[in-house]
Amino acid sequence: MRNIILFSFLFVLSGIKAQTVSISGMAPAYIGKKIRFYKIEDYLSNKQKLIGSATIRIDSSFNMTINCDEIQKIVVKSNNNRGFIYIQPKGDYSIFFPERNIYEPIKPSGNDVEVGFNRLDSTDINYKILGYRRWVDYFVSGTFHLRNRKDTLGYVEAFDRFKGRVQKAYEIDTSENANYLKTYIKFDIAGLENINNVAERNRYEKHDFFIKYQPVEYNNDVYMEYITNYYKKIVPQLSNATNEAFYQGILNSSPSMVMNALGREYTLINRRIREIVMIQALSEIFYSKDYPQTNVITILDSVVHFTMFKENTIIAKNIRYRLINLVPGVIAPDFVLSADGLETKTLLGLKEKHIYLHFFDPNSNDNMKELELVRGLNNKYSKYVKFISIYKQESELSEEIQKKLDALEWDIYPTSLTNSIWDKYQVTTFPHYTFLDATGYVIGSPALGPTPNGNYETIDQSFFQLKKAWEYENNDGGELYDRNH
């Protein structure tokens, strides 16, 4: 009897074993580098989680296997560049990851690229979405001239015909990915309806047609984009009485009061959606002077621990992380940096000076050029600022690059990809800078770098002001400083 029970238990376990997806491909512009695949944990915070990586071989090929239990959009990254694909359980994908789109200049922060497929089964979700997208592009390009006219009747008629054809083409699909595809198309068309206000539906009609009877599809990016846009900046749209009740709920740090207040709004009759919208609204008002930030975080904490919807737990947790982690004025997360021949560094042990963390990619020519500018900053301000440069230790560096790094006058830490500093300091592109004060509080993250941003600002000005303040405090109240300058 015991053997029968054990066999049954093992059979159940085998039935719930995670399904896998195989991904292989070519990336000739990234030989020797890592290609990484990220899951989007939720579409409010857009927080990404690494789910797999591979090193691109000398022949530019790579292959890997990742777990996949449901259709999802994943982000593909290498050398700061990023694209995306969809994957479905048991999928087998052969992709091409380009250096950049041909007409786009190279951006130091990384380029968005269009991932190509070497082959696709006609039943795959990518094949179906790409086919639909080509159809949309053809329709949009063919009706552009109609939308620019004052009389939009021609466009409305063309749009209605297009919707009818799409519905007829896809309603017969009964495959495993049909629900995901139909939801994708439904809400993509819902977004198209808003072009030039051609849709006759008002806000409440849109709710009843698109949202009211539709299950919440957390993993469908187009659905979630429509929902977040539909409820964007909901608080100013509330009636005066509802707005006041919402405000009182915040003052009392009460998620139930806030939920009850939002429940007065007709478009929020669905409790699951209402809680999502509450999380979104809390993130939108967080930086408003009218609402206590501590109360907002307390309410998000309550959702994390007590919500009835596990998917909303993830959203609330990630939004809370986005709001309080690395916001100027909050205590920075601790870290541990260690390397052969260097003293182990932690944030708690670095409280003598301001800290400038510089995350970079030594295999990037642009990053290495900027390293020389960091050297100039270190030469000028090392008396007042502790410079620490950090890079991912993935493979052996060339002798030339290693020699350049060894010649630098400040601490350079090769750091494992598993080190929590990458996640804690939200490093997704290179170079990336974080500026902390001498007590470990965040001044800027991402902080300004040594090269000018779009407003012609650099970190040099901040360092110069810090130098002035230090000299003022250390020269008898500034009298000597003022006399000599």
Quick one: which of 299, 339, 297 has its CA closest to 321? 297
Predicted confidence (pLDDT) at residue 77 exceeds the cutoff of 90: yes
Same domain? For 351 and 439 the reply is yes
**Which of 289, 324, 359 is the last residue before a domain boundary?**
324
Domain count, the chain: 4
Quick one: which of 363, 236, 366 has its CA closest to 290? 236
Same domain? For 108 and 131 the reply is no
**Which of 168, 198, 230 is the last residue before a domain boundary?**
230
Same domain? For 303 and 250 the reply is yes
What is the domain range of residue 320? 235-324
Same domain? For 347 and 457 the reply is yes
DSSP annotation of 349:
G
Lowest mean pLDDT among 136-145, 166-175, 188-197, 365-374: 188-197
User: Which residues contact residue 36 at a Cβ distance below 8 angstroms, ignoring those fewer than 6 apart?
Assistant: 50, 52, 53, 76, 77, 78
Mean pLDDT of all residues belonging to the chain:
89
pLDDT at 149 (0 to 100): 62
Structure tokens at 339: 């390397």
pLDDT at 423 (0 to 100): 87
pLDDT at 13 (0 to 100): 46
Chain centroid to Cα 52, Å, comes to 17
**Which of 230, 248, 274 is the last residue before a domain boundary?**
230
Same domain? For 367 and 285 the reply is no
Same domain? For 109 and 149 the reply is no
**Beta strands 61-67; 34-40: pairing state:** unpaired
Residue 170 domain-assigned (yes or no): yes
Structure tokens at 380: 């000028």
Residue 271 domain-assigned (yes or no): yes
pLDDT at 83 (0 to 100): 95
Residue 442 domain-assigned (yes or no): yes
Same domain? For 183 and 251 the reply is no
Same domain? For 312 and 433 the reply is no
Predicted confidence (pLDDT) at residue 314 exceeds the cutoff of 90: yes
Give the confidence band of 411 by pLDDT, cuts at 50, 70, 90: very high
Same domain? For 106 and 204 the reply is no
DSSP annotation of 212:
T
> What SS3 string covers 144-193?
HHHHCCCCCHHHHHHHHHHHHHHHHHHCCCCCCCHHHHHHHHHHHHHHHC
Give the confidence band of 479 by pLDDT, cuts at 50, 70, 90: very low
